[in-house]
Amino acid sequence: MATELDKIFLTLAIVEFIIGMLGDVFIGLVNCSEGIKNQKVFSVDFILTCLAISTIGHLLVILFDSHVAGLAPHLYATDRVVRPVTVLWHMTNHLTTWLATCLSIFYFFKIAHFPHSLFLWLRWRMNRVIAILLTLSLFLLIFDCLVLEMFIDISLNIIDKSNLTLYLDESKTPYDKLSLLKTLLSLNSFIPFSLCLTSLLFLFLSLVRHTRNLKLSSLGSRDSSTEAHRRAMKMVMSLLFLFIVHFFSLQVANWTFCILGNNKYTQFVMLALHAFPSCHSFILILGNSKLRQTAVRLLWHLRNYTKRPNPLPL
C-alpha cells in the first residue's frame, strides 16, 4: 500500500518525466525535420539529436525505476529487477552525461579564440576530437558495466544475509570491495564533469582576452563574438550547475543506498539526481538560436490557436 510520501515521490517523478520528455522530443523532431529538409546534418545537430534520444531513454528508465521504488521497493532485493534496471540506468546516464560534455567541448572549440598552435590544431580537427571522446566514452561504458556487475553481485549477497550489521561485523571484505567499486564508479563520473568544467574555464579566459582586445582597439565591449561567448558561457554554466547537482546527488544516492537501502531518503535524493536529464533540454533550446526561434514560433501559433473564437453552433 503506497503511503502519502510515496504518492508525493511518484508525482514529482512523473512531473520531471513530462518536463524532460517535452524538451527532448521537441529537440529530436526539430533536428530530424531540418536534417531531412536540408539533406545535411551538422555536427551540433547530430550531438543534440543523440543527446535527446539518450535522454529520452534515460527518462523512461527513471520513470520505471521511480514506480518500482515507490510501489514495490522489495523488488530491489531480487536479481531479476535490480540488475537490468541498474545497468540500463547507468548506461543511459553515462551516454547522456558524455554527450552533454561533448556538446560543451564543441561550443568551446567553435567560439573560443586562442593563438596557441595546439588549440588551433585541435580546433581544425574538432569533429575528430569529438569522435575520439565518444569512442573513449564507449570504452569507459564497458568498464563501468563490468564494475557495476561486480557491485550488484556483492550488494545482492549482502542483502541476502538476514542481519546486515552482523554480517559486516563478521567480515569486512564485502564492505571494503563495495567501497572500492563505489570509488571507481565515482571516478568514471568525474571525467566528464572535469571536461565540462575545463571548457567553461577556457571559455571564460577567451571572453576576458577578447574583451580586453576590444577595449585596447577602442571598439567597445559588445560585438557578435562577445555575445556568442556570453551565450555559450551561460549555457555551459547552466549545464555545469545541473551537472554539479547531478554528480553530488549521484554520490549521495549511491552511499545512502549502500548504507540505508532503498528508503525514503534515497528516493528523494534521486529526485535531485534526475533534475539534470529533466531540465537540461530547455537550457539547450534557449542556447541554440534555431531551436529557440522554432520554440517561439510554436508558442506563438499555440497562443493564437487558443485565442481563436469558437464557431457559433448552427
Task: Taking each helix axis as running N to C, give the angle between helix 173-216 and helix 126-160, from 0 to 180 degrees, rounded to the nearest 10.
Answer: 150
Q: How much of the chain, in percent, has pLDDT values that exceed 70?
A: 73
Which are the contacts of 292, defined by CB distance < 8 A and separation ≥ 6?
285, 286
Q: Find the length of the chain.
A: 314
Q: Which residue has the cell 547530430?
A: 46
Q: How many whole angstroms separate alpha carbon 77 and alpha carbon 297? A: 49
Low-confidence ranges of the chain (pLDDT < 70): 1-3, 5-6, 69-70, 72-79, 155-156, 158-183, 214, 216-226, 228-229, 254-267, 307-314
pLDDT score of 53? 92
C-alpha cell at 23: 524538451
Average pLDDT, the chain: 77
Q: How much of the chain, in percent, has pLDDT values that exceed 90?
A: 8
pLDDT score of 168? 43
